[in-house]
Every structure is written in C-alpha cells, then in structure tokens.
Chain A
Amino acid sequence: AQSVTQLDSQVPVFEEAPVELRCNYSSSVSVYLFWYVQYPNQGLQLLLKYLSGSTLVKGINGFEAEFNKSQTSFHLRKPSVHISDTAEYFCAVSPIWGSQGNLIFGKGTKLSVKP
C-alpha cells in the first residue's frame, strides 16, 4: 500500500519570495511521483512528474521538484512566486506496474501568495 503525507496544509508567502511545498511518501513498491495543482473552481492539472532518470524534475509555471529516494521525499519548489500561483497543490504517487491514473493523493497544501 502507498501513502502520501503533505506536511503543511497552508503556506502563506509574499509575492516574489521562494517557496517549498513538502511531500513525503511511503510505499512497499516502486512508484511514480506527481504534483498536481488545483486552481479555484477548476480541476486538477499536472505540474510535473518523476518517472525515472534525473532526480530534479522541471514542470510548468517555473516549478521544479526533487526526488530523494533515501528520504522518500518529493518536495516542490519555485524560486519566485506570483499571485497567480495561489492554488492548492497535491502530491501523488502511483505504482509503476499499473495505470498512472491510479493515484494516491496527499491532503493538499494551500499556497496563498500575498502582494
């Protein structure tokens, strides 16, 4: 079985400041890792994913995440946030042998960017 823990439920930050949203996972099998973003009143949009290879993954909107196998973490970072980044961010995993759509999500982190 897999589980995902997002340590911060809410992260307030000022515009142009850096941000890190934390994600840890546990799994008895190898997994793919994902970050999704949910803007207000919208569905889930994929930000980035780690399948294999380089542990630093770059996604859309200037976000990146680093896979750390020893710490079972996949933290999301952005060096300078914008007001438009205000949204809820979900970390998720799926077992590699199966459909990438069988996702196990964390509880989400609400990022609030203030001017």
Chain B
Amino acid sequence: EPEVTQTPSHQVTQMGQEVILRCVPISNHLYFYWYRQILGQKVEFLVSFYNNEISEKSEIFDDQFSVERPDGSNFTLKIRSTKLEDSAMYFCASSALSGAARNTEAFFGQGTRLTVV
C-alpha cells in the first residue's frame, strides 16, 4: 500500500540552526501539505503546495519557513533559524486531487518530532 514517508523520525537541533524536514509523498499525488502538532495541542495547518508553488499558508507559516519540491519525489520543509517554540511533531501529507472530487483523501506520514534545545 502506498504511503507518505518522512525522515528523520526525530531531530534535535540547537536554537538558531537551520533544519530541513523531508517527506516523500505518494507518487501520483499532486497536492502536498505540512502540518505541525505542538505537544498537547491541536494539529495545525501550515502550508499547501501544488504545481510547484504555495497554494495556501497559515499565519504560522512566516518568513522563517519555506517549502520546496527539489526533485520529482521529495517535498521539504525548511526552518531557517529555529526557535524553542518550533519544537513540535511535523506531519507531511499528500492528496491526489482537490475540490469536489470524492476520492481526495489526504494521506499523512508518521511525522518528524523536532526538538529545539
């Protein structure tokens, strides 16, 4: 069964350092997403990406964040200068289609736990 894979599963970084979280979406999917879940809080939408550009982003997704699809398979989230409050579980997701299409479930990866110290 196809799945979204994320690496690494856990990353520890020092405050102020740049970090790149990696995701391999399901191969025939066209829409890609990043979410985060701070410990004990709700899962929050960060950004959606389609056709090599950001289609929507939340207020959380400020200039410290960027996303990229550097090749045909990977989808990355970069945090330029990490802060303590960036510590969270980051989930990548992908879906095939959008809008009124019925079978456009978003499939989630297992997440990367980022710890900023």
A-side interface residues toward B, CB under 8 Å? Answer: 36, 41-46, 49, 51, 90, 92, 96-108
Q: State the 5 A-B residue pairs at the shortest beta-carbon distance, nearest first.
A: A101-B106, A99-B98, A44-B108, A43-B110, A105-B43
* Interfacial chain B residues near A106, Cβ < 8 Å: 42
* Interfacial chain A residues near B50, Cβ < 8 Å: 99
Q: A51, A92, A100, A102 — which one has the most chain B CB atoms within 10 A of its CB?
A: A100
Assess whether A49 is in contact with B99, with CB atoms less than 8 Å apart. Answer: no
Q: B33, B50, B104 — which one has the most chain A CB atoms within 10 A of its CB?
A: B104
Assess whether A98 is in contact with B99, with CB atoms less than 8 Å apart. Answer: yes
The main secondary structure of chain B at its interface with chain A is strand
Select A105's contact among B31, B44, B56, B105, beta carbons within 8 Å: B44
Select A45's contact among B44, B108, B111, beta carbons within 8 Å: B108
How many chain B residues touch A (CB < 8 A): the figure is 29
Assess whether A98 is in contact with B56, with CB atoms less than 8 Å apart. Answer: yes
Q: How far is the CA of A51 from the CA of B102 in the complex (A)?
A: 7
Assess whether A44 is in contact with B91, with CB atoms less than 8 Å apart. Answer: yes
Contact of B95 with A by CB under 8 A: yes
Closest chain B residue to A99, Cβ basis: B98
How many whole Å from B92's CB to the nearest CB in chain A? 9
How many whole Å from A61's CB to the nearest CB in chain B? 16
Given A43-B109, A43-B111, A49-B105: A105 and B42 interface contact (C-beta under 8 Å): yes
Q: How far is the CA of A104 from the CA of B44 in the complex (A)?
A: 7
Q: A92, A101, A104, A107 — which one has the most chain B CB atoms within 10 A of its CB?
A: A101
